[in-house]
Amino acid sequence: MKTRLFFALTAACIATAQADEVQVAVAANFTAPMQQIAAQFEKETGHKAALSFGATGKFYAQIVNGAPFDVMLSADDETPAKLEVSGQGVAGSRFTYAIGKLVLWSANPDLVDAKGEVLKTGNFKHLALANPKTASYGTAAVEAMTKLGLLPSLQARFVQGENISQTQQFILSGNAELGFVALSQVIKDGKIGSGSAWMVPANLYQPIQQDAVLLVRGKDKPAAAALLAYLKGDKARSVIKAFGYDLR
């Protein structure tokens, strides 16, 4: 009995000693799924993922200026590519972990119609979107409005969030009656959880291909390699799909 207890304690100590922590910059749209994935990851591997959420453009600026991140989960594919070219991302480590979808959403269940005609009727004062200079979903929103020929008439009503999470807060708080957010923010059990929404047709904006990249700081960290491998696995992909993303 004592021998078994000794070996069990020894194994636990070894696992603890080998456990590592990875610092992860995560695009704001991926907040909910990544929190769930990180919890599973820690439970199964013993490694901890310390998550920071925000706009991809701001994370890029921080990483370039020495921010201590090991892995980046971007809201686009361009930023990880730039990090690889500049030498701050590990060459060959990039892969697409999710493909995002844009939604026009309101907390008011009666405001947004199934075809997005509310954008033309203008029955609102404020329209929220993420800053298109730093957030991919903001860029996609501007692309969609441009293709619909509505950008000039809607620009005066914009309320810009620093990232997609702040954009959703503007809508929830009533600072904007409606706005463009990520499907992952409003989906629940495979359906829009509350309010009213229009799924913006994919042909109105460039595909929101979201890439992960290993950063140079995390090159020799076991937890960084383990997390990237875990994101490619069936359990993580199942979570990602449940939040409305497409997968490659």
Q: Looking at the structure, tell me whether residues 105 and 195 fall in a common domain.
A: yes
Domain count, the chain: 2
Q: What is the pLDDT along the chain (248 residues), one digit of tens a residue?
A: 444 543 433 334 334 446 799 999 999 999 999 999 999 999 999 999 999 999 999 999 999 999 999 999 999 999 999 999 999 999 999 999 999 999 999 999 999 999 999 999 988 999 999 999 989 999 999 999 999 999 999 999 999 999 999 999 999 999 999 999 999 999 977 778 789 999 999 999 999 999 999 999 999 999 999 999 999 999 999 999 999 999 98
Domain membership of residue 231 as a residue range: 21-99+208-242
Q: Among residues 201, 198, 174, which one has the least CA distance to residue 113? A: 198
Instruction: Note whether residue 10 is domain-resident.
Output: no
Instruction: Note whether residue 248 is domain-resident.
Output: no
Q: Looking at the structure, tell me whether residues 104 and 149 fall in a common domain.
A: yes
Q: Looking at the structure, tell me whether residues 212 and 93 fall in a common domain.
A: yes
What angle, 0 to 180 degrees and rounded to 10, lies between the N-to-C axes of helices 222-231 and 234-242? 60
Q: What is the CATH number of the domain that holds 188?
A: 3.40.190.10
In the block, tokens 């591997």 appear at 45
Q: Looking at the structure, tell me whether residues 104 and 139 fall in a common domain.
A: yes
| Backbone phi and psi for residue 216, each to the nearest 5 degrees, phi listed first | -55, -40
Q: Looking at the structure, tell me whether residues 157 and 217 fall in a common domain.
A: no
Instruction: Note whether residue 7 is domain-resident.
Output: no
Instruction: Note whether residue 14 is domain-resident.
Output: no
Q: Looking at the structure, tell me whether residues 38 and 160 fall in a common domain.
A: no
